Structure formats: structure tokens, C-alpha cells
Amino acid sequence: MRARRDASPAWESGTTRGDQRREALLRALDELLHESDLESITIADITTRAGVTRSGFYFYFANKAACMAALGADVYVASVAAAAHLADDSLPAVRRIERMVYDLTASVRRHHYLYRAMLDARRHSGAIREMWDSYLDSFVAPMAQYIDSERSAGHAPAGPHSRTLAALLLGLSDRVLESLGPTETPDDRRRVDALATIWLRSIYGTSEIARPRGEPPGVER
């Protein structure tokens, strides 16, 4: 039997008694994704595991993709938390970027079964693709604002249009995250280190800004 996760998923927060069937359906899908891939899981599998009728499922979700989208909120919440490092003025810029990238990749590994299921759903569902694109787009403006503020403060040189640069960096990050496995390999680490370097050089023109003397690249994982 799978051990309960330490942290409550995003879809469990603030639930009321009236949400118990919906929560049971999400928990059932969560458990099934540890045992099989999303494409192989049927609505009957979900309702049987949850102890909810098929009509009960459709009261909450239009289809399996919609159920997956609700469960996938954990992935988005973790991404928001990683991006929050950019606002940490107590850290030098190099640390902010590195922590954002490394925390983001760590969160993908923590939620790897969810992330792979979301990728699978994105390939087969136009609604999930739109939701995923919307998630990605929601980070463009804050990232562009960060780039603009660093340029205005004289910390970063002038460069390409900030929104365009932010969108390209986020798109590249998305592709790197897609390539990661559940456990870190040497190739994975090199890809993630390269991604952090690309972010730093694209924004600051170097990967060595504001790094304490004698400190090597990389941060604690």
C-alpha cells in the first residue's frame, strides 16, 4: 500500500463536507496514477476506487481530463513556489535564479507521476493543452517584470524585449522538465545546470554575477 504523502495536495485544502465525493475521486485518481498511466485508467476505475457512482463523477467533472486537471493543481502550486525565489531580495541574483530552477526541477521529481500524467493528458486533450499553456503564460508577465526591474536597477544589461525573453526561457524550461526522470541522473543534472546558466546569461550576460569569491556554480539541492 502506498504511503500517504506528507503534505496535503492542493485539491485537499479548504475542503468542506459537501466536497468529500469530489475529494474521494481525486484521491482515487492520485492512487491509480501510481499504479498505471493515465491513458490506461478509466472513469470506472476511478469511481470504483473512490466508491462514487458514475453519475457522481460527472456531477464534478466533464471527463477524465478535467479530473486530471484538478489533480494537477499540485504541479502549478509547486511552480509558483519555485518562482517566488525571484522576489527574495535577501539573495544575490545568481542565487535567486539558481534556486528557482533547482526548486522547480525538484518539485517535478516530487510530483513526477502527476507531471507525466499531465504531459500525457496534454497530448490527448485540447482542454488540458489550453490549461497548460495558460499556466505557462501566467509566469510570463512576472518574469518580464523581474527582467525589467533588474535592467532598471542597473543589475542587468539592456537586451531583447523582456516578455519575449521570458516566454522563450519558460518554454525552454518546460522542455527540460519534460526530459527529467523521477530520480536524478548525471545527464539530468547537466541539463538542469545548463538551464540555470542559460537563464543567468540571457538576463545578466554572465553566469557569475554576485557570486561570493571562490564559490563554485550550483546550489545545494
CATH number of the domain that residue 52 is part of: 1.10.10.60
175: pLDDT strictly greater than 50? yes
Assess whether 43 and 125 both reside in one domain: no
Integer angstrom CA distances of residue 16 from 10, 21, 46, 80, 150: 14, 10, 21, 25, 43
Using CA atoms, how far apart are residues 45 and 28, in angstroms rounded to an integer?
8
215 domain residue, yes or no: no
Assess whether 116 and 188 both reside in one domain: yes
Assess whether 28 and 137 both reside in one domain: no
pLDDT tens-digit readout, 77-98:
888 899 999 989 899 988 999 9
108: pLDDT strictly greater than 80? yes
Query: Which domain CATH number covers 137?
Result: 1.10.357.10
Assess whether 140 and 101 both reside in one domain: yes
120 domain residue, yes or no: yes
Assess whether 183 and 154 both reside in one domain: yes
Assess whether 77 and 56 both reside in one domain: no
Helix-, strand-, coil-residue percentages of the chain, each rounded to 5:
70, 0, 30
2: pLDDT strictly greater than 70? no
Q: Name the pLDDT band for 156 (thresholds 50, 70, 90).
A: very high
Mean pLDDT of the chain: 84
Range of the domain at 45: 15-63
Assess whether 148 and 118 both reside in one domain: yes
CA angle 165/200/191 to nearest 5° reads 95
Assess whether 91 and 19 both reside in one domain: no
Phi-psi region of 218 (alpha: psi -120 to 50; beta: other; left: phi over 0): left
Structure confidence at residue 214 (pLDDT): 46
Assess whether 106 and 84 both reside in one domain: yes
Q: Name the pLDDT band for 166 (thresholds 50, 70, 90).
A: very high
Assess whether 49 and 76 both reside in one domain: no
